[in-house]
Structures are given as structure tokens and as C-alpha cells.
Structure 1
Amino acid sequence: MRRKFEKLLTDTIRKGSLTVEMPSGEAYSAGDGSGRRIVMRITSWKALTRLVLYPDLALGEAYMDGELVLAEGEMYDLLELIFANMTVNETRGISSLTRRLVRLFIRIGDYNSPARARRNVAHHYDLDRRLYDLFLDSDRQYSCGYFEAAGDGLEEAQLAKKRHLAAKMHLKPGQRVLDIGSGWGGLALYLARMFDARVLGITLSEEQLAISTDRARAEKRQGQVDFKLRDYRALTGRFDRIVSVGMFEHVGNRSYGAFFAKIRDLLEDDGVAVLHYIGRTTAPYVTNGWIRKYIFPGGYLPSLSEVMPQIERNGLMVTDIEVLRLHYADTLRHWRKRFMANRKRAVELYDERFARMWEFYLAASETAFRYQGLVVHQIQLAKSVSALPLTRGYMAESEENLRQREQDRVAEISTAAG
């Protein structure tokens, strides 16, 4: 197993500088010696064996369990070194049989029933609410920010994301909006403030429901903004606008048809829907084993080739697509730095193993967006060919108008407070 590990090491790390200290005290080095030196220590032969047999799962588990210790460098540095040495196309080098088996697994093993979807959401989103205070912005936006300019901070990027989505919705005052996967309520409340929209937000997380409901009550918007614990498949009625941010990753490949059929049925004939989710630039592939087991059970990140046919088959028209490339990497960089600055508090909330797990999750996610072909897709949908203006100028115009109104609103609040 020692020789197999050494081969795995030298085959993977061709650039950079990595030294691995074995349980016996021996040390192996890989790379061309360039860049920052990273030294990791493996403390058990069991962990080494698992790293050879199941590297995508075992690396994170070994770090969580203290069987992989970084003597020089941090976890982000190690993951960046690994991913920077790997091809974007994750299926490189595997046999055609393995490719077919991967596609078969995606088709038959990726169904999230309503009950399973509820359990999956609770696993991640019903954690202690104080955990998310350690790294999210003040509006609790737990999705990709939109960095309009170099130097933008997390608060600016998350506000710009809400503004960008609202512009794409081409929302008009007083319209009825459905927010599928409404999180902690920030987007729904933004649409209510800026457009006097009537918003229904649905979530499967009891923690998110409690916080978003409290926020609507604090702003005295009960009746205008309503949040419910509801699966999208159980909804009825019609809406002028539908938006879904960071929820489609939890739908499951086998349910894409049902998801877009429901969007079609819920959307008014002249309505507009905007879908924002993590996707791939690569061919379809299964979710990383460690992420699926510990962070997002049931999660799946689709390629456009899996999404577009289902949209077409269910009577919806794609009116705009935007691919946000490094925006999520930059968002995760802010989250990771904030979390690491508050890491002791995470240990106090849970324990050291949990803090290691969360650290690995944020570092692995950021490096995947930088090196492994993960992006964010924003897809605008309609049922009618005349539902939207003929050119995209309305988006920029709406964003500029919203930006000015946001500034006016801040000035009014400051004046009232003074």
C-alpha cells in the first residue's frame, strides 16, 4: 500500500511542493519544488489505505479525525495544490464502462422524495443558527454573491446579487412572487421593500422558517411577505414571477422534469422565472463523495446538458442565460476567512471535529470553483415570447434604478435615526 500511495502522490502532484510524512516516520516528496512548501503528516496506516482506495472521501475524513495533520500550510493550501494539478474534466482517464456506470448512477440513484428532501435540508440548514452568524453577511445570504467591481466586500456583493436577480425578473410593483427555497428571507424581503411585491417564500428548513418569519414580523410585512414550510411539489396557484436561488442543487437529477413542470403550472402566461444554481462546465458527473456524505446529502450539481432538455420538454422558453464563473469562489473566500477568524466559536458551538469538517467544506468548495469547473448558472424563463423586452438593456436600467433607491433608503434611515 505504501508503494501505491507513493505512486498516487507523484502521479497527482507534478507542480508545487508537497511532503508527506508517513506513520513510520518516512517522508515522501512530490512536485517540482515551486511555490509554498506544504507538509502533511498521516498518523495511521488505516488512513493511508483509505486515501489510496477512496481519496475523494478519505481526505476529508482523515482531516476531520485528526489522522491528517498539516505541519506546514493550511487545508486550503493543500486542496489548492491538489486541484491545481488536476484536470477540470473529472472523468479523464477512466474507462468507457466507468463512464456509463456513472451516468447510470446519476439516473437511478438521485431521487429526492419529499420526505428525503426534508431530511437532507435539515442535515445542513437546521444547524445552530449561530454557526451561520460566524461567516455570512448581515442579510444571511447563503448563495453566490455578485462582485461588480474589484475590491467589493461580501456585503456589497450580496446586495448586488439581489439587485441583479430582481432586474432579471423584470418585476413590476405589486406583483405576486414565489421564492422557492427562500432561505432566511433576505431576497423575499428585498423584493417587498423595493417593489411592494407580495411574496410567498417556501423552505424545508424549520430554522430558516423561524428566522425569516421573525424578520417579516419585525418589518411589519406580515400578509405581504409570507413564509411557509412547504415542498415545491405541493404548491398550487399562479404567480407573476418565480425565483429560486441555491435550491435547484437539492432537487435531484431524476426530479428535473417534475420541477420544471411545476414551474410551468405555477407561472402566469405572461410571467417570468429566474433560476440561480451551482452547475458544471464539464460533462455530467456525480457529486464528490465527502460533500454528499457530510455536507449536502442528496445534492447534485448539473451540467447545462442535463437542464436544458427538461426545460424544453415542459413548455418553458429560455430567454436569457448567464454563467457566473469566479463569483462563487470569491464569495467562499470571504466565508472561509470569516469562519477561520471565528473558528474558536465554532468549536464552542459543536466541537473540534465539526470545525475541521466546516473548514474542509469551505476550502474544498472554493478550490472547486477555482480549478474544477464549478460555476453558477442564472437562467431566465418565460412561457410567452413577448413576456420580456426585446433587448437586455432593461436589466442594466433596472439595476441602476435599484442602486439609487437603495442609497436613498439608507439616507432616509440615517436621517430618521439622527
Structure 2
Amino acid sequence: MDSLILNVIKHVVKSGTLTITTADGKSTTFGDGTGTPVAVRFCSASAQRQILFDPDLRLGEAYVDGEMVLEEGSVTDLLDLVLSQYQSAQHSVSTKILSAFRFAFRHLSQYNRRGRSKRNVAHHYDLNGRLYDLFLDSDRQYSCAYFERENDTLDAAQLAKKRHLAAKLLVNRGARVLDIGCGWGGLARYISRQYGAEVTGITLSEEQLAYARSSKTALSATADVDFRLIDYRDVEGPFDRIVSVGMFEHVGARHYDEFFGKCRELLTEDGVFLLHSIGRFDPPDFTNPWIAKYIFPGGYIPALSEVLAAIERSGLVVTDIEILRLHYAETLKHWRERFLAARTAAADLYDERFVRMWEFYLAGSEMAFRHQGMMVFQIQVAKRQGAVPLTRDYIGREEERLRVAEVVGQRESVLPIA
């Protein structure tokens, strides 16, 4: 069994420095000797065997369960080294068979009806809120940030994301806005504060709902934000604007027609809908089995071809598309570093196994954006072509106006009461 797994690794790792110590104590080094050295030790022959036949699922399990130990370097270093070369490597027969099987039956795991959708959301988003405070920004933005400059802080980049989204929405004062998958409410509060809009934020997470409602006290007494625990399929409109950030990944490909059909139903005739979601540069595929099992059950990262086809069938018109390439990789790097800096606190909330699981999740996700064709898209759609301006100049102009308004708002918030 040692020779089998070592032979597979030899065909994957051509560059870098990776030392593998098998359960029998045999050490072998792979690569060209460059980069950060990484040393891995297997604690059992069964872990080696499982990784050999199903690396997509079993590598993460072996690390989380302590059956694979990093003796030099970190799990981030390991994933960076392997995933940067994995796509072009020759895969084993068992891996090809499993991949074909998972692709063929991918829709079964994405059959996200109302009850199942709520359970899927609870699995991840109803964790202890203090966990998210360990690594997210001060507004609990749990989606891709927008780095206008490479050295932006996480808080600055998340504020820039909200500004960028708001500018594309073309919100008028008093507009009715729906935020599908509002999370902890940060974007809804921002839109309400900046535009005086009537914002409805919906979520399936009871923890997020409680936090969002409690955070309304930070707004002025005149702010109009309503947070609800409701499935998007049960919302009644109409709305002038709809925005959805980081929620579409939980819809499931078999429900895309239902999703866009509902959005069309909810929009006014001059309405605008902005969708922000993780996507893939490659053709349609299946969800990584480790992520599906432990992190995001029912989740799926769509190809643009799947999304655009569903929009076309709905009768909506695509008015703008933007691809954010490495922004999420940088966001995840910030989250990973902040999470590991608070490792002891995270272990106190849960345990060391949970910490390893989330370290693997954050590191693996970051490297998927760096090496495996993942990106973020923002698609603006409308019922009419004329609902948005002819050129994109309005986006930059509105971002500048919002940037000034944010500064003025901060100054007003610290003025003493007369």
C-alpha cells in the first residue's frame, strides 16, 4: 500500500518540497526542492488507503481526525502545494469513477425544499455567534470582500463591498428593497442608512435573525429595516430592488428556475436585481464531498453557463456582469489568519477537532480560489433594458458619493447631543 500512495503523490507533486512518512515509518521527499517545506506523517495504514481511493473526501477527514499530522509547515502550505498541481495531474481510476458518480447524482444532494433548506442553513449559520466574531469584520460580513487596494484591511474591504453593491442597485430614496439571505443584516442596514430605503432582509437562520434584529438599535429611530425568518419562495412583493449576496450557493441547480422566476415575480416593472455569488470558471461540476458533508450540506457552486441559462428562461434581462477573481482568496486569507490567531478561543467554544475542521475549510477554500477555478460573479438583471443607465459610469460616481456620505455619517454619529 505504501508504494501505491507514494506513486500517486509522485505523479501529482512535481514542484515544491513535500516529505511523506507512511504509517510504516518510510519517509520519501517529492518535488524539486523549492518553496516552503511541508512534511506529513500518516498515523494509520487505513488513512493512507482511504486518501488513495478518495482524496477529495478523505484528506480532510484524515487531518481533522488526527490520522494525518503536519510535522513541518501548515495545512495551508500542504493544500497550496498540492492543489496548485492537482488539476493537471493524472488522477487514479478510483478518483475518476467517484467523480463521475458524484456528478451524475449531484442533483439529489441539492434537492433543497423548504424544510431541508432550513436544516442546511442551521448546520452552518446557527453555530455560536461568538465563533464568527473571532474572524469576521466588525459588521459580520460573511461573503467576499472587495479589495480596492492590496493592503486594505478586512473592514475596509467589506465596507467597499457594500458600497460597490449599493452603487449597482441604483436605489432611490424610499425604495422598497429585498435582501435575500441577509445574514446578520449588515448590507440591509447600510442600504437603509444611506438611502432611507424600506429594506426587508430575509434569512433561514434563527441565530442570524436574532442578531440582525438586535442590531437595529444601532440605527436611527427613523430607519426602516424589517428582518424576517422566511424562505424566499414565500415572500410577497413587489420590490423596487432585490439583492442577494452569498445565498445563491445554497439554492441548488435544480431550483434555479424557481429562484429567478420568483425574483421576476417580486420585481416591479422598473426593478433591478443584483446577484452576488461564488461561481466557477469551469463547466458544471459537483460540490466537493468534504465541504458538502461537513461545512455546507446542500450547497453548490454554479458555472456561469448554468446561471445565465436560468436567467434567460425566466424572462429577465442581464444588464451587467462583473467577475471578482482573487478577491475571495484574499478575504479567506484574512479570515484564516484571524481564526488561527483566536485558535484557543475557538477551541474553548467547541474543541480542537472543530478547530482543525474549520482550519481545513478556510485554507481549502482559499486555495480553491487561487488554484481551482473558483471566482465570484455579480450579475445585475432587470425586466427592462432601460431600467439602468447606458454605461457603467454611474457605479464609480455613486461609490464616490457613498464614500463621502459614510464619512459624514461617522462624524454625525459621534456628535454630542445638545
TM-score grouping bracket, smaller chain normalisation: over 0.9
Shift of 1:96: 9.7
SS at match of 2:105: helix
Partner of 1:155: 155
Tell me which amino acid in the other structure corresponds to 1:355. V
Against the structure 1 CA distance between its residues 44 and 98, is the aligned structure 2 distance closer, same or farther, given a 3 Å change threshold?
A: closer
Tell me which amino acid in the other structure corresponds to 1:189. R
Instruction: Map 1:257-336 onto structure 2 (within 5 A).
Output: 257-336=257-336
Answer yes or no: is 1:18 the counterpart of 2:18.
yes
Please say if residues 179 and 200 of structure 2, whose CA atoms lie closer than 8 Å, have aligned partners that are also in contact. Answer: yes
Structure 1 CA distance for aligned equivalents of residues 214 and 150 of structure 2: 35
Please say if residues 53 and 95 of structure 2, whose CA atoms lie closer than 8 Å, have aligned partners that are also in contact. Answer: no
Shift of 1:11: 1.0
Instruction: Map 1:208-287 onto structure 2 (within 5 A).
Output: 208-220=208-220, 224-287=224-287
Offset from partner CA, 1:3-32 (integer Å, 9 cap, x none): 210111111111111001111111122111
TM-score, normalised via structure 1 length: 0.96
Instruction: Map 1:75-154 onto structure 2 (within 5 A).
Output: 75-87=75-87, 101=101, 103-154=103-154
Partner of 2:190: 190
Identity %: 54
Gap regions ≥5 residues in structure 1: none
Offset from partner CA, 1:160-187 (integer Å, 9 cap, x none): 0000000000111110000000000000
Please say if residues 291 and 361 of structure 1, whose CA atoms lie closer than 8 Å, have aligned partners that are also in contact. Answer: yes
RMSD, aligned α-carbons: 2.1
Shift of 1:218: 3.9
Shift of 1:217: 3.3
Offset from partner CA, 1:100-157 (integer Å, 9 cap, x none): 6554323454211111100000000000000001000000000000000121110000
Gap regions ≥5 residues in structure 2: none
Structure 2 CA distance for aligned equivalents of residues 295 and 349 of structure 1: 17
Please say if residues 88 and 372 of structure 1, whose CA atoms lie closer than 8 Å, have aligned partners that are also in contact. Answer: no
Shift of 1:87: 2.4
Against the structure 1 CA distance between its residues 96 and 273, is the aligned structure 2 distance closer, same or farther, given a 3 Å change threshold?
A: same
Structure 2 CA distance for aligned equivalents of residues 156 and 95 of structure 1: 42
Please say if residues 124 and 296 of structure 1, whose CA atoms lie closer than 8 Å, have aligned partners that are also in contact. Answer: yes
SS at match of 2:386: coil
Against the structure 1 CA distance between its residues 97 and 4, is the aligned structure 2 distance closer, same or farther, given a 3 Å change threshold?
A: closer
Against the structure 1 CA distance between its residues 294 and 38, is the aligned structure 2 distance closer, same or farther, given a 3 Å change threshold?
A: same
Partner of 2:38: 38
Offset from partner CA, 1:73-113 (integer Å, 9 cap, x none): 01100000001112279999999988865543234542111
Please say if residues 249 and 278 of structure 2, whose CA atoms lie closer than 8 Å, have aligned partners that are also in contact. Answer: yes
Structure 2 CA distance for aligned equivalents of residues 295 and 254 of structure 1: 20
Against the structure 1 CA distance between its residues 255 and 90, is the aligned structure 2 distance closer, same or farther, given a 3 Å change threshold?
A: farther
Structure 2 CA distance for aligned equivalents of residues 27 and 97 of structure 1: 30
Please say if residues 88 and 373 of structure 1, whose CA atoms lie closer than 8 Å, have aligned partners that are also in contact. Answer: no
Structure 1 CA distance for aligned equivalents of residues 100 and 231 of structure 2: 32
Tell me which amino acid in the other structure corresponds to 1:366. E
Structure 1 CA distance for aligned equivalents of residues 37 and 58 of structure 2: 22
SS at match of 1:260: helix
Please say if residues 89 and 283 of structure 1, whose CA atoms lie closer than 8 Å, have aligned partners that are also in contact. Answer: no
Against the structure 1 CA distance between its residues 238 and 313, is the aligned structure 2 distance closer, same or farther, given a 3 Å change threshold?
A: same
Tell me the number of residue pairs that the alignment of Structure 1 and Structure 2 aligns.
Answer: 418
Shift of 1:416: 3.2
SS at match of 1:386: helix
Against the structure 1 CA distance between its residues 203 and 313, is the aligned structure 2 distance closer, same or farther, given a 3 Å change threshold?
A: same
Answer yes or no: is 1:400 the counterpart of 2:400.
yes
Shift of 1:276: 0.2
Offset from partner CA, 1:313-345 (integer Å, 9 cap, x none): 111000000000000000011101100100000
Instruction: Map 1:362-381 onto structure 2 (within 5 A).
Output: 362-381=362-381
Please say if residues 56 and 290 of structure 1, whose CA atoms lie closer than 8 Å, have aligned partners that are also in contact. Answer: yes
